[in-house]
A and B are shown apart, each in its own frame.
Chain A
Amino acid sequence: MTFVAKPKVHHPKLPLNEIGLTRRDYEGPVSTLCAGCGHDSVSAAIIAACAELSLPPHRFAKVSGIGCSSKTPSYFLSKSHGFNSVHGRMPSVATGANLANRDLYCIGVSGDGDSASIGLGQFAHIVRRRINMLYIVDNNGTYGLTKGQFSATNDKGSTSKKGAPNLYEPIDLVSMALQIGASFVGRSFSGDKKQLVPLIKAALMHKGFAFLDVISPCVAFNNHNGSTKSYDYVRDHSGSVVVTDYHLPHEEITADYAPGTTEDVQMPDGSTLRLSKLDDSFDPHDRVSALTYVQRRQAEGEVVTGLLYVDPEASDCHEVMGTVKRPLNEFEAAELCPGNDVLAGINESFR
């Protein structure tokens, strides 16, 4: 924990974004997580992504459950709306928030305990319902807040800090999300912002349910030699399958890309996702082959990262349900409660 607050002073040449804010304006108070926690890097990546997209902080709803991961929404976007909910129940609150105000950018932050154990049912159903949001799991494979028990995403055979092996099969949230119908699925690593920031940008701008599984090492309890979620292990065993870059509609695409097949995906808002595939056998638009690819590589002991699946034409919950186009808070009392005559008319239609 850090007791010294981060001072407000910033680099004299810190750039302003299109709405006149600096990256620092997207920060929150200083984190109380352990020094070196991967979750803080994920928060920093969210801050960078939102600042680079020039999104107004007050148009965000950030929701979370319980756990180290779920504390992190406090530490970014301090000028936005937030709800720290019950353990495993973030999806319910996110669903409610999104139904009530569809214009807000919704970020849900959860952890492997919050989503893969107590909240697994809620997780499955929010994916199904295609809530238009970014759902991030800070995945460290351990219960850090209760001092290092294995979580449901911990790999079989991986050991605790004291050396005891994990005897159970892991739940892979990426595979689940692919299977149940998420329209944007990616995996990344908290120690690789070069990959993570563009993924968050693309996920935020994706219409539909975007899921990011971010491996985020627990420095206190799961960053040792027997761990498969340590900084060293992930760096040694992870491979990006596709390099993703997100470009706003008016941005010139100038970056150089590694050799491989490059494909530009046009997003509904006019922005561009540039995908550089590093393995030609991989197709990020084919849900089944993506699932197979991820699982095959996983069986070989590898952690596949990058944008694994995207459907740019996806629909979201509001489209499926045909809801009203305006956020509910914009309705006047007369519209929300049109009176007895209208009610009588509705009742009459059922007779």
Chain B
Amino acid sequence: MNETDIHEPNYFHKVVDCQWACPAHTPVPEYIRLISQQRYTEAYMLNWDSNVFPGILGRTCDRPCEPACRRVRTEEKPVAICRLKRVAADNKGDVSGYLPRVPTEKNGKRVALLGSGPASLAVARDLLPFGYEVHMFEKDSGGGGMMRTQIPSFRLPLEVLEEEVDMILDMGVNVHFNHEITSMKSMLDMNFDAYFIGTGAPRGRDLELPGRAEVSDHVSIGIDWLSSVAFGHTSKIDGKVIVMGGGNTAMDCCRTAKRLGAESVSVVVRSAFEVMKASDWEKEDAMGEGIPIINNRPPKEFVHENGKLKGVIFECVEPVTGEDGRLRYEPSGEPDVFMEADHILMAIGQENHCPWIERDLGIEFDKWDCPLLDDITLQSTLPKVFFGGDSAFGPENIIWASAHAHQAAISIHLFCQGNDLKADRPPEGVNLISQKMGVHEWSYDSEFDPKERQLVPHADKKIALSDIKVEVELGFDEALAATEAQRCLNCDVQTVFTDKLCIECDACVDICPMDCISFVDNAEEIDLRQMLTAPAANLDQDLYVSGALNTGRVMVKDEDVCLHCGLCAERCPTNAWDMQKSVLHIPQLGSYAE
């Protein structure tokens, strides 16, 4: 194998599994260290800088970082990254002094943001410090988009939402609430210099089954129903409720229905429990509240009598893994099941829906009705129109919306300044900074902490179920947070090897608790992976290969299960190993405003 180029920003970025998995590339280990130092405000701002909504995401994020966490590979349970993020938000001090200053004199360019969800808000935040005049158009009476309408307040309290939404609106966004957009053409006629479309995936899917038309009074689309609960139009649901669907919206629907007085609530899912789209913790919380989740039951027919819904007939299937490794469902042989229901909440998916964009404006769409976009710049086929969030590539989540927004904001800025959207895009970079403070002294807590993942306290179930506004998760207190923070392995403090200094004494090989390090004759990667102290079976994780040493061998480190404990550097007599923090520079408009 060739010598690894550690100055290529992606090399060490991949080692920081959580940051690599995060669409917005939030520097997780850095903010966890700040939390363990009780520097909550700084931890909050570090988050705010990259993901824009730490308080909201600390409660609602899909957490792609957690399954990626290295601790999953060393001992199964990841660091509770998301809950630590919330700790930063809950305990932060006054952040006003940290917020970017917005010039009073504008730069003469006007940008329209369509929708007020996370994507539009984040674009606004990135553009405002550059003197852009930003106008935001929203059909509802408040900002936040799906964060306001689809996430119930027992998961995301209104004051948390509004604090972070207002933080951005107060930077000087010209808001146009209660402004439903019915025509893109009329928007283009307003002659903004650029348009950002962040209108989400607002259409909930429906099911065309026998009886559907007859029972429409008793069937609600999940996201629409949640929205009407959020705005106070719905405050009650009677009788027996069946929620159809297996995603997070289904979980929010069933738990909301339970709080609004339903006699009984069940979730019925066509697929198997393990492959449900809902996050594990959402499923656990729903079941913890006594809501049964019934799997492998595709619906067949709505049963009604005189226009009144009586129930639903479901088929019984069982999952079978096919020869291609994919899951299929075959009839299980059991008879169909009838379940009584007075109301159905349909939460089987969402789609992009932009009927208000006339198709003759030069904005092209693909066969799935998604806009044709450049993956990197998010520019549509009409150069001044950009997309982000769910409206770009279909339903994702809040953290993806933040990530899109940063890219779109860069694109809009380059576009408005007459620069090339690709050639002039700022590059990624990485700085490596030694963490050695002295003999046996490192600037980070290098010692491995074997503690197990801490459980988050919940509100009393009786109180929580009686009031939709009572937040269920109480969050970590400072003591729990300090304990959990110590579990972080500091994967951004890298083992950096200097081949010229190595005397091949084997001290690092002997001390490494995870058998990550080997000195071997060089070979092709596939062979090399088998020749190591511990075979490197995880192909997703890179091998760190040095240049040739005195004996002609090379140092090979398997990054897979490295604890970043620094023992290799402790035991190295020549400082050939050093622990260096990799500080990643992800281009973001704010980062070159500095």
Interface residues of A (CB under 8 A from B): 1-14, 24, 30, 34-38, 40-41, 43-44, 190-191, 193, 217, 219, 223, 231-232, 235
Could you tell me the distance in whole angstroms from the C-beta of A283 to the nearest C-beta in chain B?
29
Stretch in B97-105, B114-122, B476-484, B505-513 touching the partner: B505-513
Q: How far is the CA of A280 from the CA of B537 in the complex (A)?
A: 41
**CB–CB B505/A38 < 8 A:** yes
Could you tell me the distance in whole angstroms from the C-beta of B153 to the nearest C-beta in chain A?
41
**CB–CB A12/B73 < 8 A:** yes
**CB-CB < 8 A to B447: which residues of A?**
4-5, 7
User: What are the 6 A-B residue pairs with the smallest beta carbon separation, nearest first?
Assistant: A36-B573, A44-B510, A7-B448, A219-B573, A36-B505, A41-B506
Please name the residue on chain A nearest to B572 by beta carbon: A35
Known contacts: A34-B573, A41-B507. The answer to whether A4 contacts B514 by CB under 8 A is: no
**CB-CB < 8 A to B162: which residues of A?**
none
**CB-CB < 8 A to A30: which residues of B?**
511
Could you tell me the distance in whole angstroms from the C-beta of B574 to the nearest C-beta in chain A?
7
Please name the residue on chain B nearest to A5 by beta carbon: B447
**CB-CB < 8 A to B505: which residues of A?**
36-38, 41, 190-191, 217, 219, 231
Could you tell me the distance in whole angstroms from the C-beta of B563 to the nearest C-beta in chain A?
7
Partner of B448, one of A9, A24, A190: A9
**CB-CB < 8 A to A4: which residues of B?**
440, 446-447, 565-567, 570
**CB–CB B507/A11 < 8 A:** no
8 pairs, A vs B, C-beta closer than 8 Å: A4-B447, A7-B448, A11-B515, A36-B572, A41-B505, A41-B506, A44-B506, A231-B505
Does chain A have a CB within 8 A of B178?
Answer: no
Could you tell me the distance in whole angstroms from the C-beta of B390 to the nearest C-beta in chain A?
37
Q: How far is the CA of A44 from the CA of B504 in the complex (A)?
A: 15
Partner of B506, one of A8, A193, A223, A235: A193
What is the interface size of chain B, counting residues whose CB is below 8 A from a CB of the partner? 34
**CB-CB < 8 A to B563: which residues of A?**
7, 9
**CB-CB < 8 A to B506: which residues of A?**
41, 44, 190-191, 193
Could you tell me the distance in whole angstroms from the C-beta of A55 to the nearest C-beta in chain B?
20
Partner of B567, one of A2, A44, A219, A231: A2
Does chain A have a CB within 8 A of B571?
Answer: yes
Further contacts, 18 of them, CB under 8 A, given A8-B513, A10-B515, A191-B506: A2-B567, A4-B440, A4-B567, A5-B447, A7-B513, A9-B75, A10-B513, A11-B534, A11-B561, A13-B537, A30-B511, A35-B570, A36-B507, A36-B573, A38-B505, A190-B505, A217-B505, A223-B503
Please name the residue on chain A nearest to B576 by beta carbon: A36
Q: How far is the CA of A24 from the CA of B514 in the complex (A)?
A: 10
**CB-CB < 8 A to A11: which residues of B?**
514-515, 534, 561
**CB-CB < 8 A to A14: which residues of B?**
515, 534
**CB-CB < 8 A to B567: which residues of A?**
2, 4, 6
In the complex, chain B residues 549-572 whose Cβ is within 8 Å of any chain A Cβ: 550-551, 561, 563, 565-567, 570-572
**CB-CB < 8 A to A231: which residues of B?**
503-505
Q: How far is the CA of A4 from the CA of B448 in the complex (A)?
A: 9
Does chain A have a CB within 8 A of B498?
Answer: no
**CB–CB B561/A7 < 8 A:** no
Please name the residue on chain A nearest to B441 by beta carbon: A3
Could you tell me the distance in whole angstroms from the C-beta of A192 to the nearest C-beta in chain B?
9
Does chain A have a CB within 8 A of B288?
Answer: no
**CB–CB B514/A10 < 8 A:** yes
Partner of B534, one of A7, A13, A34, A191: A13
**CB-CB < 8 A to A41: which residues of B?**
505-507, 510
